[in-house]
A and B are shown apart, each in its own frame.
Chain A
Amino acid sequence: AQSVTQPDIHITVSEGASLELRCNYSYGATPYLFWYVQSPGQGLQLLLKYFSGDTLVQGIKGFEAEFKRSQSSFNLRKPSVHWSDAAEYFCAVGNRGNMLTFGGGTRLMVKP
């Protein structure tokens, strides 16, 4: 069975600081990996995804993520956080049946 763990429930960073959100997955085959962001009261928006090729993936809003098979990780990074990045972030793993399994989410707070 596939699963995703996001070890950090809450993270607070100062505006302008760098950010890394952790994601570990469990999946028997080559995973399809996604990062979504949910702003308060909103639906989920895709930031980036990985399914093959270059293990460093660029996404929208200046985010990137690196797939590390040896560590079963797909951590999300941003070099300089903006106050508008405050939101809930979800990592997900997908299978060939289009079934997404989400992690528990990480709430990002940004200090001015």
Chain B
Amino acid sequence: DTAVSQTPKYLVTQMGNDKSIKCEQNLGHDTMYWYKQDSKKFLKIMFSYNNKELIINETVPNRFSPKSPDKAHLNLHINSLELGDSAVYFCASSQYRATDTQYFGPGTRLTVL
């Protein structure tokens, strides 16, 4: 059973397009996250949702809009894609306790041409 799944695994698109990445977790967690990993492997949090409510929103362009239809899903929509958006995007989930482990999905590699 896949704990945290993301679709698609690879996404290649042109500058200016709009795209979405979906994330689902079957761990029963109440908190989900989006991270961005750049080409140098640097990993940074973008957003976090707890019980469908936004709790972390780092300095991310407003072209990025997360949506959480329920506790098990957190989707990421990106408008007007730019070259600099090329990265690997990871979804993660955990219980809302600082000591709790965050479980990561396999990642979505986004390439903007």
- Interfacial residues, chain A to chain B (CB-CB below 8 A): 32, 34, 36, 41-46, 49, 51, 88, 90, 94-102, 104-105, 107
Q: Max chain B CB contacts within 10 Å: which of A36, A90, A102?
A: A102
Contact between chains at B98 and A44 (CB < 8 Å): no
Give the Cβ gap from B89 to chain A, nearest Cβ, in Å: 11
Interface status of B111 (Cβ within 8 A of chain A): no
Interface size class of B (residues with CB under 8 A): 20 to 34
Q: Which residues of the other chain, A, contact B105 by a CB distance below 8 angstroms?
A: 43
- Which B residues fall within an 8 A CB radius of A? 4, 31, 40-45, 48, 50, 55-56, 90, 92, 94, 96-107
B90 contacts across to A, CB distance below 8 A:
43-44
Distance (Å) between the CB of A31 and the closest chain B CB? 10
> Does A43 lie within 8 Å of B4, measured CB to CB?
yes
Closest CB in chain A relative to B64 CB, distance in Å? 17
A97 and B43 contact, Cβ closer than 8 Å, known pairs A43-B4, A43-B106, A45-B104? no
Q: Which residues of B contact A36 (CB under 8 A)?
A: 104
